[in-house]
Amino acid sequence: MRRGLVCALLLVASNPGVRAEPDPFAALRFLLGDWLAVNTPAGEAGAFTFKLAVQDRVIVRTNEARYAATAERPAARHDDLMVIYSENAALKADYFDNEGHVIRYLVEARAPDVVTFVSDPGAREPRYRLTYRREPDGTLAGSFEVAAPGSPDAFTPYLAWKARKR
């Protein structure tokens, strides 16, 4: 069976009439790498990584944010994982964090160096929008917005950040 697969791959590679599968992550490749949050408020720090995995079939983002203790709250850490994948010619992402949140996103790359993750609207759940934009200076600007149930397109800012590749 393995020999047959190798032969099929050689046939596809040597046959100019057979088209190679397009890269579903082409518009997201600017995200790949290790990123460090910059210009954070005092006592806050964060970093995240986007990397290809599963033989380049998914992009995995791992993220951590650390918050120093203040008079109002103890020190805290937030960790999350997002897996971006192609399914039926659509880009999707599944998000999980240490607080028990699970968010399923559709991924839209409508402009060069901009990608938006938008969750489906729900009658009882907030709707989320996560956007990354590569700035002219090479930094990555991120924003996270929330829309209340019943107002699925009325997004309001929740978090914003900038990061630089390490």
Hey, is 117 helix, strand or coil?
strand
Tens of pLDDT, residues 99-128: 999 999 999 998 999 999 999 998 899 999
The residues spanned by each domain of the chain are 23-165
Q: In this structure, what DSSP letter does residue 29 have?
A: G
CATH 2.40.128.20 holds for 23-165:
yes
Q: Which residue has the higher pLDDT, 15 or 110?
A: 110
| CB burial of residue 42 (10 Å; 0-12, 13-18, 19+) | exposed
91 membership: H or E segment, kind and range: strand 90-97
The rounded Cα 90 to chain-centroid distance in angstroms is 14
Tens of pLDDT, residues 53-65: 999 999 999 999 9
66 has a pLDDT exceeding 90: yes
Beta strand ranges found along the chain (DSSP E): 33-38, 44-53, 58-67, 76-87, 90-97, 102-111, 114-119, 127-134, 140-147, 156-165
pLDDT at 5: 41
Answer for the pair 30, 133: CB distance below 8 angstroms, yes or no.
Answer: no
Answer for the pair 3, 9: CB distance below 8 angstroms, yes or no.
Answer: no
Q: Tokens 């992402």 belong to which residue?
A: 93
What's phi and psi for 136, nearest 5 deg?
-55, -30
